[in-house]
């Protein structure tokens, strides 16, 4: 999972190899971004005899606290080539967070 920030946007990128957009859901509630999905196993009839199986299957859920300047009305999600990208614009006019040095006791 990569989370980055540009001048006007927060960007979340998750690798979800072998999954389609129908396999994942993205939601925002109370300043929390949640990514959920499920990678299903092949059915017994179509599954070949494996000598080694290293890819994981099952459901996943990840939640992230969003900053106050995230505009929750501008959330956009896109899934392509095994990568889920979620972009959230920053609210116009929001003050940029300034770096602060925190003393260590």
Residues of the chain with pLDDT under 70: 42-47, 94-105
CB-based burial label for 2 (10 Å; 0-12, 13-18, 19+): exposed
The whole-number pLDDT of residue 41 equals: 73
The whole-number pLDDT of residue 18 equals: 83
CA 10, 83, 57, 45 torsion-angle sign? positive
**pTM of the full structure:** 0.77
Q: Which domains does the chain have, with CATH numbers?
A: 2-42+54-89 (2.60.40.790)
């Amino acid at each position: 999972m990569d989370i980055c920030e540009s001048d006007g946007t927060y960007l979340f990128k998750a690798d979800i190899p072998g999954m389609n957009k129908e396999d994942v859901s993205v939601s925002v509630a109370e300043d929390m971004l949640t990514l959920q999905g499920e990678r299903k196993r092949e059915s017994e009839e179509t599954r070949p005899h494996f000598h080694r199986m290293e890819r994981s299957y099952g459901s996943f859920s990840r939640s992230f606290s969003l900053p106050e300047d995230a505009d929750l009305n501008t959330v956009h999600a896109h899934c392509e080539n095994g990568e889920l990208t979620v972009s959230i614009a920053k609210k116009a006019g929001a003050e940029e967070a300034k770096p602060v040095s925190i003393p260590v006791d």
